[in-house]
C-alpha cells in the first residue's frame, strides 16, 4: 500500500490505544520508543510501544491491543514472540490492512515488578528519550547505565574480538579457495565485518556497541559509514578476496585506537 493512501496514521493508532488502555486500572503506563525517542519519525517508521501493567495483569495487555486495532482495521498479520523472550517481557507485532505496511505496531507488555531502567529500555544513552503517552504513577523514569559494569562489558568484548578475529579469518579464505562463494560471503559478513563493526561502535558509539549496523548512519562518522559501505557491497567472490585484507587492517587500526583510548583514560 502506498503510504499516502493509508487512512490510518500513527497519531490515530496511538490515540486509539491510549483510549483503550488508560482507563483500565491495571494499565499503569504507556510510552513510545524507537524513532520517536530519537526524534527521527518519518513515513517509514514503525510504532514501538511499551505498556506497564499491574503484576499478574500483563497478560491482559496484548489481547486488548489486538481488539482495539481490529476495530480500526482488519489485522493483516500478527505475531507474538514465544515465551520466554530475550528481554523477559511479552511482545507482539501487528500489521493493519488500512495502515501503511511500514507502520507496524510493536508492543511489549511489562510487569510492574520488573522495573529496571535497562530492562525497560529507559537509558537515554542507549535508547534515546522516550515519549510518554500516559504514566499514572511516575514509573517511566530514565536511568543512567552502570558505568563500571558497562566498561567491563566492553572490555570483555574487546578481548573476545582480539582473540577470535585473527583466528576466524581463514574461514573466509578456505571457502574462497574451495570456490564456495555463498559460504565465503556468509563468513565474511559474520567473522570479518560484524566484529569490525562492533569494534568501530566501541570506539565511536560505545553505548550501542551491540547494535551491529542498526543506526550505523546516525552513530558512526560519515567517512566510517562510507568506508564500511565499500566493504559490505561486494559484487562477487573476487571482491571478497580483494577487500578481506583491507578489513583486517582496519580492524587492527581500530583495535589499536581503542587500546590507546583505554590507556589514556587510565592515566
Q: What are phi and psi of 74, to 5 degrees?
A: -55, 140
Domain assignments of the chain as residue spans, ordered by start: 3-135, 147-266
Specify the pLDDT at position 7: 86
Residues facing 95 on adjacent strands: 77
Residue 27 has pLDDT above 60, yes or no: yes
Superfamily of domain 3-135: Beta Polymerase, domain 2 (3.30.460.10)
Please give the Cα distance from 1 to 219 (Å, whole number). Answer: 31
Residue 4: predicted pLDDT? 46
Give the tens place of pLDDT for each residue, 38-94. Answer: 999 999 999 999 999 999 999 999 999 999 999 999 999 999 999 999 999 999 999
Helix (H, G, I), strand (E, B) or coil at 92: strand
Q: Which residues contact 126 (CB under 8 A, 6 or more apart)?
A: 118, 145, 207, 208
Note the pLDDT tens digit of each residue in 125-181: 999 999 999 999 999 999 988 899 999 999 999 999 999 999 999 999 999 999 999
The predicted structure's pLDDT at residue 236: 97
Q: Chain-wide mean pLDDT for the chain? A: 95
Distance CA 158, CA 155 (A): 5
Q: What angle do CA 42, 45, 46 make, to 5 degrees?
A: 150
- 214, with CB counted inside 10 A (0-12, 13-18, 19+), is exposed
| 3-class SS shares of the chain: helix, strand, coil, % to 5 | 55, 15, 30
- pLDDT of res. 2: 42
**Can you tell me the distance from the alpha carbon of 159 to that of 103, in angstroms, rounded to the nearest whole number?**
40
* CA distances in angstroms from 190 to 48, 128, 157, listed in the order given: 28, 28, 15
Note the pLDDT tens digit of each residue in 209-251: 999 999 999 999 999 999 999 999 999 999 999 999 999 999 9
| pLDDT given at position 101 | 95
* pLDDT value, residue 264: 84
Q: Which residue has the cell 552502570?
A: 146
pLDDT of residue 263: 87
Is 44 strand, coil or helix?
Answer: coil
User: How does pLDDT run across 183-209, given as a tens digit for each residue?
Assistant: 999 999 999 999 999 999 999 999 999
Amino acid at each position: 500500500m502506498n503510504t499516502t493512501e493509508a487512512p490510518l496514521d500513527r497519531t490515530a493508532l496511538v490515540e486509539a490505544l491510549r483510549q483503550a488502555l488508560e482507563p483500565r486500572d491495571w494499565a499503569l503506563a504507556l510510552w513510545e520508543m524507537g524513532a520517536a525517542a530519537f526524534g527521527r519519525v518519518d513515513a517509514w517508521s514503525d510504532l514501538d510501544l511499551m505498556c506497564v501493567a499491574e503484576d499478574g495483569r500483563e497478560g491482559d495487555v496484548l489481547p486488548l491491543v489486538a481488539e482495539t486495532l481490529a476495530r480500526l482495521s482488519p489485522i493483516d498479520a500478527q505475531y507474538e514472540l514465544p515465551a520466554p523472550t530475550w528481554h523477559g517481557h511479552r511482545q507482539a507485532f501487528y500489521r493493519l490492512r488500512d495502515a501503511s505496511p511500514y507502520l507496524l505496531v510493536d508492543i511489549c507488555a511489562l510487569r510492574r515488578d520488573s522495573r529496571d531502567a535497562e530492562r525497560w529500555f529507559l537509558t537515554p544513552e542507549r535508547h534515546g528519550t522516550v515519549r510518554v503517552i500516559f504514566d499514572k504513577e511516575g514509573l517511566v523514569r530514565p536511568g543512567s547505565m552502570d558505568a563500571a559494569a558497562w566498561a567491563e562489558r566492553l572490555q570483555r568484548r574487546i578481548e573476545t574480538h582480539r582473540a577470535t578475529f585473527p583466528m576466524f579469518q581463514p574461514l573466509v579464505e578456505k571457502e574462497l579457495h574451495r570456490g564456495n562463494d555463498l559460504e565465503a560471503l556468509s563468513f565474511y559478513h559474520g567473522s570479518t565485518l560484524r566484529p569490525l563493526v562492533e569494534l568501530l561502535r566501541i570506539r565511536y558509539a560505545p553505548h550501542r556497541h551491540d547494535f551491529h549496523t542498526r543506526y550505523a548512519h546516525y552513530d558512526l562518522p560519515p567517512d566510517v559509514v562510507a568506508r564500511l559501505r565499500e566493504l559490505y557491497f561486494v559484487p562477487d567472490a573476487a571482491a571478497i578476496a580483494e577487500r578481506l585484507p583491507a578489513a583486517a587492517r582496519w580492524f587492527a587500526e581500530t583495535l589499536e585506537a581503542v587500546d590507546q583510548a583505554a590507556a589514556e583514560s587510565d592515566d
